[in-house]
C-alpha cells in the first residue's frame, strides 16, 4: 500500500494554551470547516467532539489530549488537542515531544496567562515552531496589542502580526490580511463557512498600511532574504512574504500571529492556511536523534526507506479494542500483524492492529509511514516513552521528562471485591498517566496515590467509580514534602559479614553536599587509584538512591543534594555488588544524621485576577496562608496578584476565594519549587508524622 499524502504535505500540530483560552473550540471549528465533523461541537454544552470523556463534558475542560486527522488544501493535518490545566501538564509534555509544530491560542482579554508561559517553555525545550492565534477578539475588553506586548515581555519571542481585526469587540466582522492587503468578511448566517474577500474599507487603510510596514520590518529582522529585498526597496509579493515567514517560523526566529474568534466562527480558515503555510512538515524539523546498540549517537531521517523508529508517547485503555499505544513514527514504515523491537525493554512485540484515531473513534489502517501519528493494539510490554524500532537497527530515542507529583491521598477499598478491582484499575491508570504514582505505605499498609494537584486526583477517583466500578474511601490530600541537607559532611559506610563460606565486604567513603534547588539527587565518583573497582560504582549509586527514599527527619524522600564517592576499599574474594550497595546505604544514612537536614515544602506559583475592591482582602488572606507577594499589575479594571504560597495552605482555596470576592475573582496555580520550611511548621509536620508512627 502506497503513501496517500507526500511527507512534505503532512503537518503534525498541537493546540496549546492556558485553560479557557479556546483550544477545544478552535479545534472543533477546524474539524467542521475541513469536513471531518458535520456539526460544531460546543464545550459549554458538553457536545465537543474532542472532549469525549464524561468528566470533560461535565466540567467543560480538556483532561486528556485527543488526536484527530483532517485535510486542508491537499495537506494532511494531524492534530492533538491538549489540556490547559496545570494538573494535566504531562499531556502537553508528551504531545510536544512528538509534534512538529503547534498553534498557541491566546485569549485577547487575558493575554499571556501562567499556563501559557509553562507550555511555551515546554515547546522551547523541544524546539517546536509555533504559530499564535489570538482568540476571543469579539469579547468586550479584547486587546490584541496588549497580548503582543506580553508575548515579547513574558515569552521573550518575536511576534509578527499578519492580520488586523475588522471591527472591534462584538462588532468584529472579519480580519484584514496584511500580506494580501485585503479584507476577509464573514457571513454569520453561514456559521463562518462563507466569507468574501474585499478591498480594505477606507477607514482602515491608514492603519493597515502602517501595520503592513511593521510586519515587513519585523520579518526583515528575522529573515535575511526578506531583509535584502526590503533594504533594496523591492516590492515583495505575497508568495515571497509567506516564504520568508515560513523560514523564520521553522527556524524559531519569529512567530506569525493571526486573529479571530473561534466561538463566533471568524478567522479559522486563515488559521488553517497559516498551519499549511508556516508550520513545518516532518522533513523540515530536526532529524530525530537516539543511541544505537553501541551507545553511539545516531540520526534517523524522516523517510519511508529508513529503518523503522517510533516513540510510544501515550497509552490508553479503550473499552472496545483494549490496550492502545499511541505512536509517532519518525522513520521507516510498519504493517499491522508484524513485529517491532522495544529497544528500551529489549523485547519483541507483535503489532496486532493499527488504528487512526479521531478522539474516541477509530479507523483501522494497514500501514503507517514516517511522520504518521497512529495507535497500535497488542503492545503489552510497551510503556510511555519507550522506543520501538527495527530489530536489526535498534535505537533508543530521547525519553520524556515526567514531572514529580506534589499531592498524596490515601485510598481504601470498601470490600474484598473492591480491593481486587482497585489494584487492577490503579495499575491501568498509572500505565496511562506517568505523572500519577501508586504505592503502599510501609507503616500503615494503606494504598497512597499521588498526582499533580487536587483536580488531577479528583478526576482519577471519579474514573475509579465510573469506569472501573470501584467503591473506595478517600482520605484528605497530603503534601509531598521533601528533605535536604544544609551542610557538607563526610561519612563512612562499612559492611562486613563473615559466615561459614564466602563473606561479604563493602567499604565506602561518601561526601554529602547541599545541591542547587531543583537539582534532585546527583551521584558522582572521585575515586583515585582503583581503591573501589569501577564495577561497584553502579551498585553504590543504587544503594544511595534507595536510602534517599526515606530521610531522617520525617521519612520523606531526600533531594537537592550531591553525593560523591571518593574513597573506600574492597576484598578480592568477599566483595560483591550487594555488599557495596548496603555499605553505601549505611554511609548515606549516617551522613544524613550529621548533615543538619532540612524539611522542604512545595511552593506554588499563584496568580489571582481580582477586582480592585477586593485586593486588600485577598492579599491579607494570602499573608495568612504564608504567601509572599511577588508583584501586582493592572489589567483593565482588575488587578493581577502574583504570589508564592505553600501548597499545604492552598487546599480548598477556590471555595474561599469565591466566597470572599462574591465569585468575581479567579486564580491559577502551578508548582514552582521546593523551599525550606519554617521551623514552627516543620515541628507540626514531623510531630504529626511521629504520632502516626
pTM: 0.72
At residue 201, the pLDDT reads 93
**Residue 44 pLDDT class (50, 70, 90 cuts):** very low
> What does the pLDDT average to over 575-599?
92
638-646 and 163-166: which strand pairing?
A: unpaired
> What does the pLDDT average to over 487-508?
86
482-485 and 472-474: which strand pairing?
A: unpaired
Cα 389 from Cα 355, distance rounded (Å): 18
DSSP bridge partners of 610: 639
At residue 690, the pLDDT reads 39
Q: Is the pLDDT of residue 685 over 60?
A: yes
Q: Count CB atoms within 10 A of the CB of residue 202.
A: 7
Q: Is the pLDDT of residue 57 over 70?
A: no
Q: Is the pLDDT of residue 511 over 70?
A: yes
Kindly report which listed range (52-66, 489-503, 637-651) carries the lowest average pLDDT score: 52-66
Which among 91-100, 225-234, 249-258, 653-662 has the top mean pLDDT? 249-258
At residue 501, the pLDDT reads 66
Q: Is the pLDDT of residue 441 over 70?
A: yes
Q: Is the pLDDT of residue 444 over 70?
A: no
Mean residue pLDDT of the chain comes to: 85
Distant-in-sequence, close-in-space partners of 122: CB < 8 Å, separation ≥ 6 = 89, 92, 93, 96
DSSP for 348-405 reads EEE--EEEEEETTEEEEESEEETT-EEEEE--SS--TT-EEE-TTS-EEE-----PPP
Q: Is the pLDDT of residue 490 over 90?
A: yes
HSE of 396 in the Cβ direction (CA atoms, 13 Å)? 14
> What does the pLDDT average to over 291-308?
88
Q: Is the pLDDT of residue 372 over 80?
A: yes
Question: Tell me: the pLDDT tens digits for 394-422?
Answer: 999 887 777 778 788 888 888 877 888 88
Q: Is the pLDDT of residue 368 over 50?
A: yes
At residue 332, the pLDDT reads 92
Q: Is the pLDDT of residue 670 over 80?
A: no
C-alpha cell at 83: 489540556
Higher pLDDT, 248 or 432: 248
Cα 218 from Cα 328, distance rounded (Å): 34
Q: How does 326-365 read in b/e, with b if 16+ C-beta sit within 10 Å?
A: bbbbbbbbbebeeebbbbbeeeebebebbbbbbbeebeeb
Q: Is the pLDDT of residue 216 over 80?
A: yes
At residue 683, the pLDDT reads 75
Question: Tell me: the pLDDT tens digits for 321-355?
Answer: 778 888 999 999 999 889 999 998 889 999 988 98
Q: What percent of the chain has pLDDT over 70?
A: 92
> What does the pLDDT average to over 311-316?
86
> What does the pLDDT average to over 32-54?
60
C-alpha cell at 130: 509555533
SS3 category, 217: helix
Q: What percent of the chain has pLDDT over 90?
A: 38
Q: Is the pLDDT of residue 688 over 80?
A: no
Kindly report which listed range (82-86, 268-272, 514-518, 668-672) carries the lowest average pLDDT score: 82-86
**Residue 54 pLDDT class (50, 70, 90 cuts):** low
C-alpha cell at 651: 487546599
Cα 141 from Cα 638, distance rounded (Å): 11
At residue 64, the pLDDT reads 66
Question: Tell me: the pLDDT tens digits for 458-470?
Answer: 888 888 888 888 8
> What does the pLDDT average to over 477-484?
85
Higher pLDDT, 150 or 82: 150
> What does the pLDDT average to over 502-525?
89
At residue 689, the pLDDT reads 46
At residue 225, the pLDDT reads 92
In 461-560, which ranges are E strands?
472-474, 478-479, 482-485, 489-497, 504-514, 521-525
> What does the pLDDT average to over 301-320?
86
At residue 208, the pLDDT reads 94
Question: Tell me: the pLDDT tens digits for 14-25?
Answer: 888 877 788 888
**Residue 5 pLDDT class (50, 70, 90 cuts):** confident
Nearest of 592, 552, 588 to residue 689 by alpha carbon: 552
Q: Is the pLDDT of residue 292 over 80?
A: yes
Q: Is the pLDDT of residue 49 over 60?
A: no
Cα 639 from Cα 659, distance rounded (Å): 18
At residue 692, the pLDDT reads 37
Distant-in-sequence, close-in-space partners of 410: CB < 8 Å, separation ≥ 6 = 441, 444, 446, 447, 448, 449, 474, 475, 478
At residue 1, the pLDDT reads 52
> What does the pLDDT average to over 622-628?
91
HSE of 203 in the Cβ direction (CA atoms, 13 Å)? 3
> What does the pLDDT average to over 571-594?
91
- Rounded to an integer, what is the distance from CA 594 to the centroid of its chain? 39
Distances (CA, A) of 475 to 50, 83, 108, 472, 653: 32, 27, 41, 10, 18
**Residue 82 pLDDT class (50, 70, 90 cuts):** confident
Q: Is the pLDDT of residue 239 over 70?
A: yes
Amino acid at each position: 500500500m502506497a503513501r496517500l499524502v507526500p511527507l512534505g504535505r503532512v503537518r503534525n500540530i498541537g493546540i496549546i494554551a492556558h485553560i479557557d483560552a479556546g483550544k477545544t473550540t478552535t479545534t472543533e471549528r477546524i474539524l467542521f470547516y475541513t469536513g471531518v465533523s458535520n456539526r460544531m461541537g460546543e464545550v459549554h454544552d458538553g457536545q465537543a467532539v474532542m472532549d469525549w470523556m464524561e468528566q470533560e463534558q461535565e466540567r467543560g475542560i480538556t483532561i486528556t489530549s485527543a488526536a484527530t486527522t483532517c485535510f486542508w488544501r491537499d495537506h494532511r493535518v494531524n492534530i492533538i488537542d491538549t489540556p490547559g490545566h496545570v494538573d494535566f501538564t504531562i499531556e502537553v509534555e508528551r504531545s510536544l515531544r512528538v509534534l512538529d509544530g503547534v498553534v498557541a491560542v491566546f485569549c485577547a482579554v487575558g493575554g499571556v496567562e501562567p499556563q501559557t508561559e509553562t507550555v511555551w517553555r515546554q515547546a522551547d525545550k523541544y524546539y517546536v515552531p509555533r504559530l499564535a492565534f489570538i482568540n476571543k477578539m469579539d469579547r468586550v475588553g479584547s486587546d490584541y496589542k496588549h497580548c503582543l506586548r506580553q508575548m515579547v515581555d513574558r515569552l521573550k519571542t518575536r511576534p509578527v502580526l499578519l492580520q488586523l481585526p475588522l471591527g472591534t469587540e462584538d462588532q468584529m466582522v472579519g480580519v484584514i490580511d496584511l500580506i494580501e492587503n485585503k479584507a476577509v468578511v464573514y457571513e454569520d448566517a453561514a456559521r463562518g463557512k462563507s466569507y468574501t474577500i474585499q478591498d480594505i474599507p477606507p477607514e482602515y487603510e491608514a492603519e493597515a498600511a502602517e501595520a503592513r510596514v511593521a510586519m515587513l520590518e519585523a520579518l526583515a529582522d528575522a529573515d535575511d532574504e526578506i531583509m535584502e529585498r526590503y533594504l533594496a526597496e523591492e516590492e515583495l509579493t505575497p508568495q515571497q512574504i509567506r516564504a520568508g515567514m515560513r523560514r523564520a517560523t521553522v527556524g524559531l526566529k519569529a512567530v506569525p500571529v493571526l486573529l479571530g474568534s473561534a466561538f463566533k466562527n471568524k478567522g479559522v480558515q486563515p488559521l488553517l492556511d497559516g498551519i499549511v503555510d508556516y508550520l513545518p512538515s516532518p522533513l523540515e524539523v530536526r532529524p530525530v536523534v537516539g543511541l544505537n546498540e553501541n551507545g553511539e549517537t545516531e540520526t534517523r531521517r524522516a523517510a519511508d526507506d529508513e529503518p523503522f523508529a517510533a516513540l510510544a508517547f501515550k497509552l490508553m485503555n479503550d473499552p472496545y479494542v483494549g490496550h492502545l499505544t499511541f505512536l509517532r513514527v519518525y522513520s521507516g514504515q510498519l504493517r499491522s500483524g508484524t513485529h517491532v523491537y522495544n529497544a528500551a525493554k529489549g523485547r519483541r512485540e507483535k503489532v496486532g492492529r493499527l488504528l487512526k484515531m479521531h478522539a474516541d473513534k477509530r479507523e483501522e489502517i494497514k500501514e503507517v509511514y514516517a511522520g504518521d501519528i497512529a495507535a497500535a493494539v497488542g503492545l503489552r510490554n510497551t510503556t510511555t516513552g519507550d522506543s520501538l524500532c527495527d530489530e536489526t537497527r535498534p535505537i533508543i530515542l530521547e525519553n520524556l521528562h515526567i514531572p514529580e507529583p506534589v499531592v498524596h491521598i490515601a485510598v481504601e477499598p470498601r470490600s474484598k471485591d473492591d480491593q481486587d478491582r482497585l489494584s487492577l484499575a490503579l495499575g491501568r491508570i498509572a500505565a496511562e498517566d506517568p505523572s500519577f504514582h501508586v504505592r503502599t505505605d510501609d507503616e500503615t499498609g494503606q494504598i497512597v496515590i499521588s498526582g499533580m494537584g487536587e483536580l488531577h486526583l479528583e478526576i482519577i477517583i471519579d474514573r475509579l467509580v465510573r469506569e472501573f466500578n470501584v467503591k473506595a474511601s478517600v482520605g484528605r490530600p497530603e503534601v509531598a514534602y521533601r528533605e535536604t541537607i544544609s551542610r557538607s559532611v563526610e561519612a563512612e559506610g562499612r559492611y562486613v559479614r563473615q559466615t561459614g563460606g564466602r563473606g561479604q565486604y563493602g567499604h565506602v567513603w561518601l561526601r554529602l553536599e547541599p545541591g542547587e534547588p531543583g537539582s534532585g539527587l546527583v551521584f558522582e565518583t572521585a575515586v583515585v587509584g582503583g581503591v573501589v573497582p569501577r564495577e561497584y560504582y553502579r551498585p553504590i549509586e543504587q544503594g544511595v538512591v534507595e536510602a534517599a527514599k526515606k530521610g531522617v527527619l520525617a521519612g520523606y524522600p531526600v533531594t537537592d543534594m550531591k553525593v560523591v564517592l571518593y574513597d573506600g576499599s574492597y576484598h578480592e574474594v568477599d566483595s560483591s555488588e550487594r555488599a557495596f550497595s548496603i555499605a553505601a546505604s549505611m554511609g548515606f544514612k549516617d551522613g544524613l544524621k550529621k548533615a543538619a537536614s532540612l524539611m522542604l515544602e512545595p511552593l506554588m506559583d499563584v496568580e489571582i485576577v481580582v477586582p480592585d475592591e477586593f485586593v486588600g482582602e485577598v492579599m491579607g488572606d494570602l499573608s495568612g496562608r504564608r504567601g509572599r507577594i511577588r508583584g501586582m499589575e493592572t489589567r483593565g479594571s482588575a488587578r493581577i496578584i502574583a504570589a508564592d504560597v505553600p501548597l499545604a495552605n492552598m487546599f480548598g482555596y477556590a471555595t474561599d476565594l469565591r466566597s470572599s470576592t462574591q465569585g468575581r475573582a479567579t486564580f491559577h496555580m502551578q508548582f514552582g519549587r521546593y523551599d525550606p520550611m519554617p521551623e514552627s511548621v516543620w515541628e507540626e509536620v514531623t510531630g504529626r508524622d511521629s504520632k502516626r508512627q
